[in-house]
Amino acid sequence: MSVENIKTVESVKHWIEDAGYNSPKRSQEVEHLLNELSDFCDFTEKDPDELVESCLRTTKSGDISISAKGRREIDDTIGEFVKSKGLSGHNAIVVGNNIRGFLIHNGVFMQGKVSL
């Protein structure tokens, strides 16, 4: 999914706004984040909304809930994605956490690794 297309997706717009990336000073940073998300979408063959949905499930009562299994799978996939890009150390953690940030701002509670 191209960066241009990703920009128009509601969940992505929400992420950029909610995380405070929408200030003009941060436009380059946003472009970089969108590129990473776009690459991850290509890697998973999912669009951003599908990424969020894969972390959710519908309960018996019809409520939408976070799927522990779905979240773990996405978390693992983020790890694989970062590895596939040949990243390691601090950079790997930052890229992985940027993608987690997209999911977090769309309501998926999760935590990534800490760069120490």
Which stretches of the chain bind other proteins, using CB under 8 A?
Answer: 19-21, 68, 71-72, 75, 90, 93-94, 97-98, 100-101, 104, 109-116
Distance CA 65, CA 5 (A): 27
- Minimum separation from the CB atom of position 104 to other proteins (A): 6
Q: Of the candidates 25, 19, 23, which has an alpha carbon nearest to the alpha carbon of residue 37?
A: 19
- Minimum separation from the CB atom of position 33 to other proteins (A): 10
For residue 65, the cross-strand partners are: 57
- Minimum separation from the CB atom of position 55 to other proteins (A): 9
- For 1-116, where are the alpha helices, taking DSSP H only? 3-6, 10-18, 27-44, 48-53, 68-84, 89-105
- Minimum separation from the CB atom of position 49 to other proteins (A): 19
Q: Which two tokens stand for residue 100?
A: 């987690």
